[in-house]
Structure 1
């Protein structure tokens, strides 16, 4: 690992872009070109297709680290002395489940990234270990692990990137970790200003949990969740035959049943369902799914079949090995190893759909669809039926809810105007050129005069580089058809600053500020081009008046609060010492006379009138004679006791 080189796959045009950093694993010393080609191929299939709506927000680099051996080893436990760069391995007992990290894999990947690029860049980037292996294997953790498989590598990469870039949760059944804004524990729509709760797992891992549906508007209160059930969910990891009996629940309509399974090693299957009361079986034609142009039957392959079953009936699912009947588009290479013929997983989904005759209607709409855990119990709800790759890795694209989440999260973490640069006092570079070029961001420039009023300079609209001196406010508005329509679909950021020579003070709204940036993305319910001419003039009188009103309110509140606290404390003291007082009014009068703000003036007058005597007489408490010492060291308590004795 002495020679490390960085290859720029997609250069960063701005500092705020999110970086995807690939690191080579299990590539031999003479396979550097193969690694670069693999990264370029996967980036093209992922960013130009599944992540095309956020591609301008991403940059890609690849770090080449050679290994002593080519290929991921298959061993029963993590190797003590790994021969690859990061020590990844496959469990020899179940080689197609995943590629697992060694005890030092993640720490070593971060260390190499910090040494090769920079600590700041790597801490804000998504690290991806690309393993040189021709078969299925993906893992989403602190660092993403995928293989360079031409048939399944992209499937795992785009699914794991959904977790990393958008904090998008799982949507498939029989899982163990459900969270994110695309998962809800109840079917009720979220109220206005709802905030999700945070759950803390091991090692400081956080999960955002929504107790309501946020992907639908508040107007969908009468939308009912779909009636569904998970009849079967198993991972056999063995060769057929496979027989399981299941029962369809009682219902008013027939059950639309979907069989989902995956095989490996070129296994051929025949599927059939046998009703309990009949001996004749019903054949299920399996349709193998693939979102890649490269089809490798030795790799893990996914298939599906559909049938309509009667409610309240017992059936038997039977899977038998048969000749592999699929047609393939390529001639397969002689890989270094071939997996055994295995039936990897089997699931049976039962649904009652409103549009039984046209399932495409159900596939394209957002709704409330149940999710079941490993024990087939209902745990929550998801946005779509089966068209999102967070549920089906072969789908090829995200649903509208997940696209919205990924886009908003990237924009929230980027804060593009935070990287506004004034270059050598000659120009201001917004670094929004890639977004402006893609038509995703529109810019407006407002020039401020000495009174605080501003007017848009229409000649500079959508100009990403400014060269004219003055006090400016830049408004950048981002809109996209991939944002959900029931939520504000315009994101806005503002930055106010002075550009010029010397020190100048600019009045921006209600604050007389030194040149600075005020940046934050906020949601705006208005459309960018609506009332275009009406909003050209931006005045600050209302905001300034509001600020002055706040200051006046705080002053009045302070002068009312201090006397209130003072009298409350006096009342508490008098109540506590009520047994020693003849009346509450006398207690108040004595304390106020003793600790009032006018005491200093009275004490001076009192000391001057009693300067010739050691003590003075006064009449209080209805004429009772009480002696008060002229010495300021005596307490009020002693004076009250003395008055009773006399």
Structure 2
């Protein structure tokens, strides 16, 4: 048998029943042709733009990257949307910016930064890009014009309209490719990159001698997320690559200074919060070099044992055994689902998991536990991203209560508190029980009360253990730090349900106390970072987002069977037709990972007529007399999706079955 297709080991096959060949018949000869799913082959183009609004109102834009979506797809091809442009706002999720207590006065100017992804399948890409820049930017610098990573690019005012920008457009920087010492390993291979969602993990601060440490770190993170429950049901849609590029120094920078590493990751200070990249162009080019279709979501992993990360163009985390996965899955959630925060005190509340306007028209009405939307009653009493070094002395958070609530909950995060006597917490002068989580990494603690506060003023106090007051500074470990504090009051269970199976309208308060709503109490990892699961709303959004890029159908293969050794098309006696699908539902390799109730259904049509006897098969056999125009339709159902308005959980292909195609 000769075939034009090499099959991926991850594609599920439905076995044909064995047939007995009449001994008197001559041998059977088979040739094949494949019909690709055109939906996966649509040409797409992208432009990545960073915009910063200056204090005088000037909108300053930087073009970071542009090209074919198959080369750098940090956004989705518009292959389902016709000949148009789509604009995705990709917010930078940086916890380091959460630093203002509600009790503090807001600054008179808040710098606004946005990241936009323009995506189109139109050949008028340049004109569409120019039109967007004219509307949204006052000044533009094009960083793709300079091939030097460290060079500066002058700003240009947009004065000449579309024509001037088109000239700039044609001079994008070259891709450098892989460098000496680089190594790429494909850790998860579920099929062709062109029809999968590909993540590229790139290490920073790993020396040549730490090559195997890098691959071991990435394999651990991948196992935690994809073999673990977070992305388990979505695994067949993903490919995962790891790129090792040796750094001259080990680790990442601190205090705003980077080390001599490949991508120059660094922290602003020594606090365990945001991690930034000072060499983003090198990261973009490295990700591209992994493969033409491999760079959907680039991620940078710093060789550092402690908490830290960032969301945005790159998903950034560390190799920390304790917190690396916690940060990574949360930041990947932002990028993969394209949603904002669910925890209090953030700045970005957008996407499927946030309702900003009215609970009567709440986005997840089809998931609600109750027939009628209702708000769960709580109030945020204190919100403080302190980032406070406890060596400086006690830290106090004051708040008031009106005395009308039934329960309270205090949540904090901290670092460097490695022993039970290293940290003390007092509520209205009474010391709260606390046990160290062990180690110096950032971690979370929580206390709950089953009665509300009395009306009036209240105080929470945080102290370093007294025995450590004179301890010398050890720069090899994180400081003892209070990172964040939130205090809520709640009504009783009849008005605010703690049950994480309930889906309702739960208030969330941003950095300045403005209210939006989320769907659950503390179940979703987009709110509760110690959780390992997404809520139902985020899961549904993730299915929609992933299947906006990857079609359920890879391709159709037609095998043409001839009797005897004759190559003539007229000797073809039958066709075997097989639909190659992403292995979900009944085709998952490991059925223990199958979500209960998920399944594919299939239908076949010939010359527009439904062939009901062939339904629910992916491989069929038809006589040569049934040549004609065929259509295959697949639909995937899962309890994790209740609405599919764009038909993303469906796939179909119209194709010809004909003798003359067999010899091509």
Shorter-normalised TM range:
0.5 to 0.7
Residue pair 1:187, 1:213 contacting (<8 A) in 2 also: no
CA–CA distance in structure 1, aligned partners of residues 435 and 363 of structure 2: 33
The answer for the alignment partner of 1:285 in structure 2 is 433
The answer for the alignment partner of 2:245 in structure 1 is 65
Deviation at residue 370 of structure 1 after TM alignment: 0.8
* Pairs within 5 Å for 1:312-323: 312-322=455-465
Deviation at residue 355 of structure 1 after TM alignment: 4.6
SS at match of 1:3: coil
CA–CA distance in structure 2, aligned partners of residues 397 and 70 of structure 1: 33
The answer for the alignment partner of 2:223 in structure 1 is 44
Q: Hey, which of these two has a bigger chunk of helix by percent?
A: 1
Residue pair 2:200, 2:294 contacting (<8 A) in 1 also: no
SS at match of 2:526: coil
Deviation at residue 150 of structure 1 after TM alignment: 0.3
* Pairs within 5 Å for 1:187-586: 187-190=358-361, 212-216=362-366, 222-237=372-387, 238-239=389-390, 240-251=393-404, 253-266=405-418, 268-274=422-428, 281-286=429-434, 297-307=439-449, 308-322=451-465, 337-355=476-494, 361=499, 363-375=500-512, 377-417=513-553, 419-422=554-557, 430-435=579-584, 436-438=586-588, 440-449=598-607, 452-458=608-614, 461-463=616-618, 470=627, 471-484=629-642, 491-502=649-660
CA–CA distance in structure 2, aligned partners of residues 468 and 337 of structure 1: 74
CA–CA distance in structure 1, aligned partners of residues 205 and 367 of structure 2: 48
Distance 1:85 1:227, change over 3 A: same
CA–CA distance in structure 1, aligned partners of residues 367 and 286 of structure 2: 46
**If the length of structure 2 is used for normalisation, what is the TM-score?**
0.61
Per-residue CA deviations over 1:467-512 (Å, capped at 9, x if unaligned) read: 87643221211112222489999933222222333379xxxxxxxx
Residue pair 1:132, 1:147 contacting (<8 A) in 2 also: yes
Structure 1 unpaired stretches of 5+: 191-211, 275-280, 289-294, 325-334, 505-646
SS at match of 1:420: strand
Residue pair 2:412, 2:483 contacting (<8 A) in 1 also: no
Residue pair 1:185, 1:381 contacting (<8 A) in 2 also: yes
Distance 1:503 1:97, change over 3 A: closer
Residue pair 1:260, 1:305 contacting (<8 A) in 2 also: no
CA–CA distance in structure 1, aligned partners of residues 521 and 365 of structure 2: 14
Deviation at residue 463 of structure 1 after TM alignment: 2.1
CA–CA distance in structure 2, aligned partners of residues 56 and 94 of structure 1: 39
Q: How many residues align structurally?
A: 445
CA–CA distance in structure 2, aligned partners of residues 480 and 62 of structure 1: 30
SS at match of 1:41: helix
- Bigger-Rg structure (1/2): 1
CA–CA distance in structure 2, aligned partners of residues 10 and 468 of structure 1: 39
Distance 1:269 1:218, change over 3 A: closer
CA–CA distance in structure 2, aligned partners of residues 486 and 501 of structure 1: 38
Name the stretch that deviates more: 347-356 or 482-491: 482-491
CA–CA distance in structure 1, aligned partners of residues 368 and 600 of structure 2: 30
Structure 2 unpaired stretches of 5+: 1-178, 468-473, 561-574, 589-593
Residue pair 2:576, 2:619 contacting (<8 A) in 1 also: no
Kindly indicate whether structure 1 or structure 2 has the higher relative contact order, using CA contacts under 8 Å at least 6 residues apart. Answer: 2
Residue pair 1:287, 1:305 contacting (<8 A) in 2 also: no
Per-residue CA deviations over 1:535-586 (Å, capped at 9, x if unaligned) read: xxxxxxxxxxxxxxxxxxxxxxxxxxxxxxxxxxxxxxxxxxxxxxxxxxxx
Deviation at residue 382 of structure 1 after TM alignment: 0.5
**If the length of structure 1 is used for normalisation, what is the TM-score?**
0.63
Matched, 1:100 2:239: no
Deviation at residue 187 of structure 1 after TM alignment: 3.7
